[in-house]
Structure 1
């Protein structure tokens, strides 16, 4: 069978049509003519398997990654950068129109200055392959493990450290995790900020070899080694127990005149440079006010960047470690009018006595829950800045918020080049009462 690809799918598939029904074909690009076989047929759509390209898009390129077809981590490696940005703009435009009814202006995407080598951290599962420890990825929607000898979206030093760690693990005959014995290496987490590297080894009930730890500590730029003990099957990558095995307890990050300390569980945006640009963009949007609230505030980086915009800043985050980290960062930077509370965002916002002038929300991919949207529409802050990593949930949330608010601007950012993901910042203001 063959079809002409008409547009992008939200997960970077090409969408063609067969008997007027959409067919999602992974690896195909808009304007290409492709041959395919049917993998799955559903009542409203089908999934096809790409066999060959009969007419190639000018946006197609040879992937710079030798493992792109295996790991599924970067869905757009076969697309040139202009094509990647066009795809993200198209998906955002279509999704906002479909779910939010918004057909207004969308600003040009703010491009990533480093389209490779930008990622400041990695979390890689571990498997035993032919008797050797390997770090890798699981193929999308499967239990198929793929060893990754080299990843080109990692920062250079981080990737070099990852490769050397794999070699060290095999030198000391480390074993992958065994659920029966509750021992072995499960996941390796590596973070790099300002040319310093933190290593977190997620294991079972293991006492790690002292000589192996010494060798890891001597790797260039490694300043911290942690062990996380995890024997359960929860979705949290870390276990409840964290042990500092070597070096610094925290990682340090400078943003303008701020100094942030990050605990090992703390999350920071995976693209440091683009995160900095996004925070500044949000800062420029906010009008000076009395009370500013940031929901889903994490370690408080954005709240602290916005500190000069309000007389009082409150961050809300449900992860206890992040809240502790955020409050310590506020104290460290002498920002006494900035504080953080550990609570569900909707409940905390509902219970606030203060009149909220400006609200910044940066929710997970699932977007705002029902309570959060209900409270926003009741509290009605003058300004809302919605930072989103998922166009679909963003658009669905905006549809409800437009009962009271109007969209003033939409600004996409390319945070994660080579992938289908796009970050968006939407400014909303209360509608004028006629």
Structure 2
């Protein structure tokens, strides 16, 4: 096995060896710059290799002992051996490299990174995979990249307080019910760049796929009426994602859900959703049931998520930022860039954070119909004039309503894939004065900024550390139409 000294860090948190195996650049999972490691080469490509650490021969001098017992095997928190200030510096470098190398901006206008108030235990939502261990017992955990192995969630330091006890109860009841577990086939898994997303990635065997554990506030009458009221009662929602099940499998999972509500007083509701697509996306296609405690008269899936002193209604299966305190800081950064007046909010989710900025009418587009339903309710609770549209943003923007639109400012918060090229074309055609771009992927942000430079200049980019211990970073950027003065 080759022995390397790691030279650099990639944007996805892997160590980089220049001129490694066979003279190729090698990306090594589990390694940091300065580490001397023995490496197993797992994949060879035309221009580079991929590998994983077999033995950590010598640690980089400024690394620390990770807080999590699974840090060396899980792969999710690949920066955990770096002190937090070094993590922040690495993420600033990721953004700088993306904007210079991909965005072709010689001196990007970067502001200092905003640190997360919490660096452990910050996740209000975690998605755990079901698997069987060597003894055949069902357990929950984090799936190792491109592997059938699932690292147990016990001891994970990113879980919210109280979540681990729920994991243990779910495992106990799932084993008692003896339900089958979904077995993905990674020979057909999506590529790292996500372009093959939607292609077959499973064996069509097994029922249980994922369990999402999510923390939020339990809605009450006052919070339903006004977004200014944030309920105090905090609890967990569980969302089971399974393959399409038989009548007996569904009934067995319903019994598991009932027992969880009886055994775990911190769990407010349990949902069951099914996904027929043979892939690894944690997104239900059909809801089978949603049950809450008997004394709760409202929709069991309904929860309240606080953001900057406002309570947003959210369906427990829909997207909301996973780091509550850092999400406040992200929204505040965006608020500093938004002008008074109407706002187009693309990829608007449940209306957050766009509704926080509204001093004029808001027009929002979001793929998820359930998120749009929540956005409409949130706008009404905030007394905000808004119109929302469910569907693919690129397609909706080509309809007659939006072809005649004349947006002054646009807020974009797309998924990791970034803006669809048709959305970029629409922006270049409509030429709003300002674009506020929230991104969770520096590479696609830089790609989109490069395309928008035909008419826009990048005024500033601020990084916000939404995901401590991981290589992921959120950014907020302001682009201004050339020859347009910012008021």
Report the TM-score when normalising by structure 1: 0.90
* 1:198 corresponding residue in structure 2: 237
Matched-pair contact (CA < 8 Å) for 1:59–1:82:
no
* 2:306 corresponding residue in structure 1: 254
Per the TM alignment, residue 79 of structure 1 is displaced from its structure 2 partner at its CA by 1.8
Write the mapping of 1:285-304 to structure 2, written as runs, cut at 5 A. Answer: 285-289=337-341, 291-304=342-355
Query: Unaligned stretches of 5+ in structure 2?
Result: 184-202, 218-233, 294-299
Query: Unaligned stretches of 5+ in structure 1?
Result: none
* 1:12 corresponding residue in structure 2: 13
Write the mapping of 1:15-164 to structure 2, written as runs, cut at 5 A. Answer: 15-18=16-19, 21-34=24-37, 36=39, 38-50=41-53, 56-102=59-105, 103-129=107-133, 130-164=135-169
What is the rounded CA distance, in whole Å, between the counterparts of 1:398 and 1:178 in structure 2? 40
Matched-pair contact (CA < 8 Å) for 1:231–1:239:
yes
Write the mapping of 1:414-433 to structure 2, written as runs, cut at 5 A. Answer: 414-432=465-483
Matched-pair contact (CA < 8 Å) for 2:69–2:156:
no
Q: Which shows bigger deviation, 294-303 or 240-249?
A: 240-249
Change (3 A) 1:144 1:385: same
What is the rounded CA distance, in whole Å, between the counterparts of 1:175 and 1:157 in structure 2? 25
Find the partner of 2:380 among 307, 310, 331. 331
Deviations 1:335-386 (A, max 9, x none): 2x12211132123334423321110111111111110111100000000011
* 1:207 corresponding residue in structure 2: 251
Q: Which shows bigger deviation, 384-393 or 207-216?
A: 207-216
Matched-pair contact (CA < 8 Å) for 1:265–1:322:
no
Matched-pair contact (CA < 8 Å) for 1:252–1:262:
yes
What is the rounded CA distance, in whole Å, between the counterparts of 2:39 and 2:208 in structure 1? 41
Matched-pair contact (CA < 8 Å) for 2:461–2:477:
yes
How many residues align? The count is: 429
What is the rounded CA distance, in whole Å, between the counterparts of 1:15 and 1:257 in structure 2? 42
Per the TM alignment, residue 302 of structure 1 is displaced from its structure 2 partner at its CA by 1.2
What is the rounded CA distance, in whole Å, between the counterparts of 1:347 and 1:239 in structure 2? 21
Change (3 A) 1:159 1:17: same
What is the rounded CA distance, in whole Å, between the counterparts of 1:35 and 1:42 in structure 2? 20
* 1:226 corresponding residue in structure 2: 271
What is the rounded CA distance, in whole Å, between the counterparts of 1:150 and 1:394 in structure 2? 34
**What's the secondary structure of 2:448's corresponding residue?**
helix
Give RMSD over aligned pairs: 2.6
What is the rounded CA distance, in whole Å, between the counterparts of 2:35 and 2:88 in structure 1? 18
Q: Which shows bigger deviation, 203-212 or 67-76?
A: 203-212
